[in-house]
Each structure stands twice: as structure tokens, then as C-alpha cells.
Chains A and B, each alone.
Chain A
Amino acid sequence: MYDREQLKEQAAKALDKKAPLGPDIDLMGFRTTSESYEYLSDEELKTLPDEEVQRLLLAGVDVTEEGRGGTFFQKDTSVIHCESKQEGIEVIPIRQALEKHDWIRDYYWKLASVDADKYTAAAETNLHNGYVIRALPGAKSIYPIQACLYINTNGLQQNVHNIIIAEEDSELHVITGCSTSPHSKKGAHVGISEFYIKKNAKLSFTMIHNWAEDMVVRPRSVAQVEAGGLFLNNYVCMKPCRTLQMYPTTHLVGENAVARLNSIIVGSPGSEYDVGGRVYLKKPGTRAEIVARTISNGGRIISRGHLIGEVPEIKAHLECKGLIIKGGLIYAVPELEGHVDGVEMSHEAAVGKIAQEEICYLMSRGLTEDEAVATIVRGFLSVDVPGLPPQLKAEIDKAIEMSEKDVM
């Protein structure tokens, strides 16, 4: 049993520490307890009310578990389902891991700092749960593991900590959906994620957010990729959310490690998103690519990107493209930092509108103006992710398609 005393002390000192980015949130305004929910079997999972199933589908979570290699499902503070159906891939609630497995100490708060800000501190002080997903050495996941963090109680602050470990030569795919119940509009989600991609391992992590109008979201993620490892991180958020701020960081610490970060954000009115990606390239031969596509539909979006090249022979590119459709704001902040001779880094940022020429071109093929605009927007949001299994690509496309009607 890991008593975490020192961590708790550190956290206690940071409970009021403001984050450098994003509006400061008074966490006192949220409740941190909820009723507990029964564990559900595979069969019981399928009997969830239809409106909940629909909300989950929008976040890429399929309760039938079809085409999934396992499921982790946390409702408020309770884990209601946790199971891996694939050999060599483990899915464990983090509280259980902290109680039973000593190895978790090598990972828990080893990349993210517990005293980074009040949110990381809160996640330690009052940890509800979260998941540990681990692919054993050489294990190859055929189907993605799905993880769902679901807020059922209005006004709840959900604190989770997730750890994903892809051991040497393994291949792991995870799709995480975060959603609120149809009745819950207000809440806070604090999620710590630490990713360990070991030598020659491959991890694809796809996160889809399906929040509600009055949600406060503060994910804190750090990844570490060892030699020859590949980290694909996809993020999709097309739904409103009062304020969301995150700046996931990836450290490429082994030669030829690769990170690709893609994000798709649609900013709805009344919503504020401050989202970025940061990659440290610390060994020769490492490569990083950050691609962000944002559409403002009346919301405010700050799209950040930061690449830090510390050694020669690294290659990194940042692409930030924004489309303003119905007012709002898009603030693109691309940053490049080369510390030595021989780095190759570039960025491309553009904020604009849909070109009339493209609309007319499609109309001359028979589409109405609305259909033409929808087609262009869909194209804009479709990002090719090399290395992503087609099934996951289809999952992302589906989430985008299902949300599209709200965008237009």
C-alpha cells in the first residue's frame, strides 16, 4: 500500500496555486462527493438508458463493446466497469493499483508534478479514481481499449488520475471519452494523465470530449517517449464547455522517438478553450508534429503550440489552422524554440474564413450553398493521422459527423 504521504503534503501547499493559463476557478463551488454506483456486468452495461448511450457514443464510447479490447467506465467517483478482453493488456482502477501494486510508484506523479497548480493538488488531495492501462512487453492490442469518465451528478468535481504504459515493443490503442449525463450541466473535471511509451512501443491515445455548457475542465497530461517509440495523440472537442484549459506536454527522451499531436476543436458560443500541445525534442532523430484545426462558432479559442528542439538533427512542425464561421475569437500562438545548430523546425498558422471560391466550385457541381459550406468544414476537420488504425479513424470521423449539425 502506497500511503502517498509526501505527495499529499506537497499537494496541500499548492491547493490555492493558480495555473499560469486559463481563467482561475474557485473549486469550492463544486461538491466532491457523489452517491456510489453498483458495478455493472457486460450485459448490464448494455441496458443503460438510451439517452445516456447516445451521449456516450458522441464521446466514442460504445456500451456494446463491439470492436473494443476492453472497457473502463467511471461514473462520478465510482468505477462501474473495468475489464480487459485482450491478453497482455491490463486495465486496473488506479486506486486498486495504488493499493496492490508496488510498481505503480515508478509511474504515479513521476511525469506530472503534484504541486503544479491547484488542479493537480486537488487530484491528489481528493483522488476519486481513474485508470491504469498497461500493455505488457511485446503485446499488440488489436482493438482499442475504451475508457469513459462520466459525470452524472450536477455540480460534481470529478478528480481522476490515469496512467498509460506501453511497455517495450508493445502496441496499444486507447480511446477515452469524457461526457456528462443528459441532466447534468454543471461540473468540474480534473484529470491527470501520465503516458509512458517505452522502447519501440506504439501508443495511440484518442480523447473525445462531450461536455456541457457549464463545465469546467482542467486536464493535466505529460508523456514520455523512449527510443524508437511512437506517440499519437488525438483530441476532439466539438461540444460547448464553459472553460477548458490544457497544455499537454510530451518529452521525446530516446533517439528516433516520434510524437504526433492532432486536435480538433469547435468553439461554441459561451465557451472558452485554451488548448495547446508542447513537445520537447531531447535526442537526435526525434520528430514531432502538432496539427490543430479550430473552428469558432461564436466561442473563444486559444490554440497554442510549443516545440522545443534541444539537440541537433531533430525535426518538428507545427500547424495551426483556424476558421471563424459565426463570430467568436481564434487566437493562434505557435512557438518554436531551437537551442542548438542543426534543428529543423517550422510552423504554419492561419486564421480565416471559408473561401467563396471553394463554395462556388462545389455549387457548380450541384451542391446548395449550405451543403457546400458543410462539405468544406468537414474537409477542414478531417485530419489524416498516419499510423492510426482505420477503426479509430472511423471512430473520430463518426464523432465529428454526429456533432456536425451543431456546427452549421
Chain B
Amino acid sequence: MLLIEDLQVELAGRTILKHIDLEIKPGETHVLFGPNGSGKTSLLMTIVGYPQYKVTGGKIVFKGVDITYAPIDERARLGIGMSYQRPPTIHGLKTRQMVQICARSDVDVEGLARKVNFENFLDRDVNAGFSGGEIKRSELLQLMSQGADLMLFDEPESGVDIENIALVGETIARLLEKECSATATKSRLQVRRDRTKMGLIITHTGHILDYVAVDKGQLLFNGVMSCSTNPREIFRCISEVGYEECVRCTIENS
């Protein structure tokens, strides 16, 4: 479980996240909506542990461990993984090697790559000259290899062409154990209840909702978590009246 309580974060001396509360239970996936600059990526980077995002209040607890000030690699090894929107290029490091790094042990790189149609990129330097869609598939491949329990997706559908959007959506659904079917010993419901993978997805377009069953939508506005409800509901509201109106409606409701 991920538990964030009253989190306050500064970036370069400016407060960018205020009083954030968030709880993601095992098996749950949330989406994060919000206009540009509202702090969505900052929240993800803070959970991952980027040192420039300074926590000035509150705490982050993951699997019962207080990780508020833990270094990035410790969080990664505890099971937090991130699919970046614009990851850096690492020259001379092949994508194949990166996938092995993520696994921390032997892994069937080719087999995993096949799942995201990425075999032809394994011998290219990580992110070197990748298009938007290629970056997304590369990030998903790394996440598959990493086997994280909490996965953070920063706009996984941006820059992805119409043909690959289904591939990306279905891969995320699989990573988050959304496809479940009954087994000999367990009913479908039981399998669903046993799910442990957690997800937090930033989306602008909402396309991802067509592929991934999401439990909750969160709206971040000006660094404040402003609404938490049915994701489709939030998305419809934003589409119709815009972020600001959408926030006002929740303030009036509360």
C-alpha cells in the first residue's frame, strides 16, 4: 500500500505540492488529472525520490516503510517503478543492457521485448533518437523487467500513434494485473482480490481509461489534490467545463 499524508514539497525554493493526501491500496489503480503545471509529474518524481523535490512536510509510506527521505534506489528495490515521459538518453548503454539492469538477474529480454514489439530496438542506446511512442514502449519494457509493485505512469499515451495505443494500454493493464481470469482453485473475484500491483497514471486525454480499469480518479490543481472520485466522472466534467470549473464544483460539494 502507498500512503501519502499531508505532503508538502518544494522545488527550487517554491512550494509546488500542498497538503497532498493519497492512499493506493494493493490491487488499486488511480488516475491523476490536472492542467499543465499543476504538479502531477512533481508528485510522481517525489514518490520516486528525486532529490531536487524537497519534502518540507508530511510523509510517504510504502509497504509500511516510511520512505519520505529514502534514496531513489532504495525505493526502487522496495518495489516502486516509473514510466517516464521524457527520460534521458544514456549513450553507450544498450536498451538490452538496461532491461537486464532493471531485472537485477537473468531475464528473457527478447521475450519481454516481443510483448511490446520492441525487439528491433534492443541494440540501440537507451532512448537515443526514440520517437514519443518508442520511448513509451521502452519504458514499459523496463517496467516489465523491473517487476515493481507500485507503478507510476507519466502520460503513457502521449506521442503514441493510434496503432500502438492499444498495445500500450493493454501492456499497462497486464502490468497492473487488470486482466484476470478464474483459475482451477480461485474464482475470478478471488483472483481480483489477490491482486497486489498498484498504479498511478497521469493522463490528459483519458484514452488509457479505455484499456485499464481504474478504481479512482484524482484531480490535482495548483499543487492541491482537489477531487477524488470516479475517474470517468472527473474526465467528463473536465471535458465539459474545464479544470477550474471542475474544481469549483467539488469545493462547493464539500
Do A382 and B73 touch across chains, with their CB atoms under 8 A apart?
no
Interface residues on A, range: 20 to 34
- The minimal Cβ–Cβ distance linking B147 to chain A, given in whole angstroms, is 10
Whether, in the assembled complex, A362 has its beta carbon less than 8 Å from a beta carbon of chain B, the answer is yes
A355 and B142 in contact, given A375-B93, A375-B101, A379-B93 (Cβ under 8 angstroms): no
* Interface assignment of A6: CB less than 8 Å from any CB of chain B: no
B48 within 8 A of A: yes
- CB under 8 Å from chain B, chain A span 86-119: none
- Distance in angstroms between the alpha carbons of A349 and B217 in the assembled complex: 48
Cross-interface CB contact of A360 among B72, B80, B98, cutoff 8 Å: B72
When distances are taken between beta carbons in the complex, the residues of chain B under 8 Å from A361 are 84, 87-88, 90
Binary interface encoding of chain A residues 262-298 relative to chain B, with 1 for a CB under 8 A from any of its CBs, else 0: 0000000000000000000000000000000000000
Contact-residue size bin, chain B (C-beta under 8 Å from the other chain): 20 to 34
Contact A379 B125 (CB under 8 A): yes
| CB of A66 to closest CB in B, whole Å | 26
Contact of B102 among A358, A360, A366, A381 (CB under 8 A): A366
B92 touches A363 (CB 8 A): no
The contact of A358 among B71, B75, B88, by CB within 8 Å, is B88
> CB of B166 within 8 A of chain A?
no
Assess A376 versus B104: contact at CB under 8 Å? Given A364-B82, A365-B142. no
B91 within 8 A of A: yes
Contacts A366-B73, A366-B77 given; does A357 touch B88 at CB 8 Å: yes
CB-defined contacts of A372 to chain B, threshold 8 Å: 73
Find B92's partner among A364, A367, A369, A382 (CB 8 Å cutoff): A382
Cβ contact of B76, chosen from A364, A378, A380, cutoff 8 A: A364
Distance of A360 Cα from B82 Cα, bound (Å): 12
B73 with A369: CB separation less than 8 A: yes
Residues of B within 8 A of A380 (CB): 91-92
CB-CB < 8 A to B49: which residues of A?
364
- Minimum Cβ distance to chain B for residue A388 (Å): 15
Write the chain A residue with the least CB distance to B75. A364
Main secondary structure of the interface of A (DSSP, over half): helix
Output the nearest chain B residue to A378 by Cβ-Cβ distance.
Answer: B92
Chain B 131-166: CB-based contact to A (< 8 A → 1; otherwise 0)? 000000000001000100000000000000000000
Once the chains are docked, how many angstroms separate the CA of A46 from the CA of B121? Answer: 42
Q: Closest Cβ of chain A: how far from B152's Cβ, in Å? A: 10
**How distant is A394 from chain B, measured CB to nearest CB, in Å?**
15
Chain A residues contacting B76 (CB-CB under 8 Å) are 363-366
Instruction: List the A residue with the shortest CB-CB distance to B152.
Output: A364
CB nearest neighbor in A for B51? A360
Give the distance in Å from the alpha carbon of A363 to the alpha carbon of B48 in the complex: 10
A368: interface (CB < 8 Å): yes
* Complex CA distance for A281 and B112, rounded to whole angstroms: 47
With a cutoff of 8 Å between Cβ atoms, the chain B residues found around residue A360 in the complex are: 50-51, 72
How distant is the Cα of A101 from the Cα of B104 in the complex, in angstroms?
A: 59
A369 to chain B minimum Cβ distance, whole angstroms, is 7
Q: How far is the CA of A383 from the CA of B50 in the complex (A)?
A: 30
Most buried by B among A360, A367, A381: A360
Q: List A324-378 residues whose CB lies under 8 Å from chain B.
A: 355, 357-358, 360-369, 372, 375-376, 378
Is the CB–CB distance between A365 and B98 below 8 Å?
yes
Chain A residues in 8 Å Cβ range of B81 = 364-365
Residues of B within 8 A of A (CB): 48-51, 71-73, 75-77, 80-82, 84, 87-88, 90-93, 98, 101-102, 104, 125, 142, 146
> Would you mind naming 10 contact pairs between A and B with Cβ atoms under 8 Å apart?
A358-B88, A358-B90, A360-B72, A361-B87, A363-B76, A364-B48, A365-B102, A366-B73, A376-B93, A379-B90
List the interface of chain A (C-beta within 8 A of B): 355, 357-358, 360-369, 372, 375-376, 378-383
